[in-house]
Amino acid sequence: MERFGLVGLPNAGKSSLYNALTGGGALAAPYAFATKDPNIGVAKVPDDRLDRLAEMSSSKNVVHAAVQVVDIGGLVEGASKGEGLGNKFLANIREVDAIVFVLRAFVDDDVTGPSDPLEHLRVVELELALADLETVEKRLHQATRQSKLDKTLGDEIDALTAANDALSDGRPLYRAGLTPDQREQLAPYFLLTNRRVLAVVNVGEDELDRIPEIEATVAAEFNDAGDNVEVIGMCVQLEAEAATIVDPDERAEMLEGFGLGEGALFRMVRSAYHLLGLRTFLTTGDKESRAWTFYEGSTAPQCAGRIHTDFQRGFIKAEVIQWEELLDIGSWNKAKELGKIRVEGKDYVASDGDVMEFRFNV
Ligand SMILES: Nc1nc2c(ncn2[C@@H]2O[C@H](COP(=O)(O)OP(=O)(O)O)[C@@H](O)[C@H]2O)c(=O)[nH]1
Ligand SMILES: [Mg+2]
């Protein structure tokens, strides 16, 4: 399962956000395999398409896609030099697939620390960039030496040099304008900033009407990051309170009451999921409707393998229809009678929102 790590300075609201995502009624997924580590939890990925297909099929069981969320504590100014938890927190970040920055904008005299999200951003980015710089300098030195004998290292050295230039200026790699090739060259080093970032700006409950404005101010700071970064403003405290309300109607009422629509948690999880290159295909029937995660660009057999490795090994064909068309027709059997279900072979590249059934032999 893919992992998101929450990263930010003390008192930014990481643990509150973590609880809202994994502990409350709204998003927490009741998965038996949820780990016992108090800082790792599972959040389900809300998906309206799944809910509607489940209704169409009168499914007894509905299973959402899910992601792991990790509350990574210990980032303080000087962490890259061993302050606070130092390298331990850096190691924890290396293990996640996507980084979620939590940047504080709320003002509260009882909670120590700065309230300027741009100051939070500056410290967080500098610490991560410095940690990456150390890795890149070491490897660049080594690769330059090896290149005297090994002529194949030219592209890697080029990528390392570009990375070194950006990081020396304190600029994270997602802002460095690296080409996809260069990012690929750097992939083996698990650099902290060679990934996409979702930045959550935690706005105070007394400033809800300023959420769009504050979000835009932070987003403007990322104007050199292209589509590597997305910014979402929310009031973590209110979202966390809403998440403890188990009844969906009551929860919606509370969020509406604050003018927060469906709440920002759903949007946040969907954005993070998408930013990671994760996509969803669906299966539906009277027993179960389910959302399955696949990586963008996966073929039909690879999707089948998400369900069971036997499905991938013995793959014969996939029957496919987009969710919306299926919903319009009203049932799988009817869609089949009408000839609307496509038959696809092993080279078919799946699309987000495909409803699929697999034929295989074992
Ligand atoms: N007023 C206010 N306080 C908040 C908000 N979000 C978090 N806090 C408080 O700030 C403190 C630190 O939050 P926490 O989630 O533990 O931050 P962490 O150190 O990043 O894990 C706690 O006392 C929270 O209740 C918010 O949106 N508004
Ligand atoms: Mg915490």
Residues 271 and 313 grouped into a single domain: no
Q: Would you say residue 35 has pLDDT above 50?
A: no
The Å distance, Cα 106 to ligand 2 centre, comes to: 16
CATH of the domain at 104: 3.40.50.300
pLDDT over threshold 80, residue 281: yes
* Residue 288, in any domain of the structure: no
For residue 238, give the ligand 1 atom closest to its CA.
Answer: 27
Atom of ligand 1 nearest to the CA of 12: 20
Q: Which tens digit of pLDDT belongs to each residue from 123-182?
A: 999 999 999 999 999 999 999 999 988 889 999 999 999 999 999 999 999 999 999 999
CA of 55 to the centre of ligand 1 (A): 38
- pLDDT of 32 > 50? The answer is no
Q: Which residue has the higher pLDDT, 288 or 95?
A: 288
Asked if the structure places residue 285 within a domain, the reply is: no
Q: Is the minimum distance from the CB of 103 to ligand 1 under 6 angstroms?
A: no
Residue 184 domain flag: yes
Question: What confidence category does residue 22 fall into, taking pLDDT thresholds of 50, 70 and 90?
Answer: confident
Average pLDDT over residues 182-188: 95
Of ligand 1's listed atoms, the one at least distance from the Cα of 108 is 1
* Residue 283 within a domain: no
pLDDT given at position 275: 86
Residue 291 lies inside a defined structural domain of this protein: no
Q: How far is CA 78 from CA 121, 134, 239, in A?
A: 14, 14, 31
The protein residue whose alpha carbon is closest to atom 4 in ligand 1 is: 237
Residues 100 and 139 in one domain: yes
Looking at the structure, tell me whether residues 210 and 340 fall in a common domain.
no
Residue where a domain stops, chosen among 213, 244, 275: 275
Do 142 and 31 lie in a common domain? yes
For residue 308, pLDDT over 50 is answered with: yes
How many domains does the chain contain in total? 2
Structure tokens at 12: 């930014």
Ligand nearest to the CA of 102: 1
Q: Which of 13-17, 229-233, 247-251 has the lowest mean pLDDT?
A: 247-251
**Spatial CA neighbour of 101 closest among 6, 11, 224:** 6
179 and 239 assigned to the same domain: yes
The rounded Å distance from CA 204 to ligand 1 centre is 10
- The residue whose CA is least distant from atom 13 of ligand 1 is 13
Based on the domain organization, do 160 and 77 belong to the same domain? yes
The whole-number average pLDDT for the span 234-251 is: 89
Residue 354, beta-bridge partner list: 322
Q: Are 360 and 315 in contact (CB under 8 A)?
A: yes
Same domain assignment for residues 252 and 349 = no
Which of 152-161, 273-282, 322-331 comes out lowest in average pLDDT?
273-282
Ligand showing the shortest atom-to-Cα distance for residue 7: 1
The answer to whether residue 290 sits within a structural domain is no
Mutate to test the pocket of ligand 1, among 237, 241, 258, 260 (most ligand atoms within 8 A of CB): 237
CB 319 within 8 A of CB 357: yes
**Would you state the pLDDT for residue 291?**
96
The answer to whether residue 289 is domain-embedded is: no
In short, whether 19's Cβ falls inside 6 Å of ligand 1 is no
The verdict on 306 and 175 lying in the same domain is no
Q: What does the pLDDT read at residue 54? A: 97
- 12 CB under 6 A from ligand 1? yes
One domain for residues 329 and 269: no
In the chain, % of residues over pLDDT 90: 68
Q: How confident is the model at residue 28 (pLDDT cuts 50, 70, 90)?
A: low
Same structural domain for residues 120 and 151?
A: yes
Q: How far is the CA of 2 from the centre of ligand 1 (A)?
A: 26
Q: What percent of the chain has pLDDT over 70?
A: 94
**pTM of the model as a whole:** 0.87
The sheet with strand 315-322 has its strands ordered as 61-63, 288-295, 278-284, 354-360, 315-322, 342-344
72 CA → ligand 1 middle, Å: 15
Q: Which H helix or E strand runs over 325?
A: helix 323-329
pLDDT of residue 46: 84
**Is residue 330 predicted with pLDDT exceeding 60?**
yes
CA 284/CA 356 separation, integer angstroms: 8
Q: Check pLDDT > 60 for residue 30.
A: no
Q: What pLDDT sits at residue 29?
A: 58
What CATH number should be reported for the domain holding residue 328? 3.10.20.30
Same domain for 303 and 204, yes or no, is no
Residue 34 reports pLDDT greater than 60: no
Pairing, β 229-234 against β 197-202: parallel
Ligand nearest to the CA of 107: 1
70-117 pLDDT, tens digit per residue, is 988 778 777 777 666 566 777 888 888 889 999 999 999 999 999 999
Q: Whose CA is nearest to atom 5 of ligand 1?
A: 237
How many angstroms is it from 237 CA to the middle of ligand 2? 13
Res. 55: pLDDT tops 90: yes
Distance 138 CA to ligand 1 centre (A): 38
Is residue 235 within 6 Å of ligand 1 at its C-beta?
A: yes
Structural domain including 10 reads: 3-275
Tell me if 280 is assigned to some domain: no
DSSP bridge partners of 279: 294
Residue located nearest, by CA, to atom 9 of ligand 1: 13
What is the position in ligand 1's atom list of the atom closest to the CA of 10?
19
- Compute CA distances 98 → 3, 46, 338, whole Å: 7, 18, 42
| Single residue among 240, 275, 310 that ends a domain in this structure | 275
Considering the domain architecture, whether residues 271 and 301 belong to the same structural domain is answered as: no
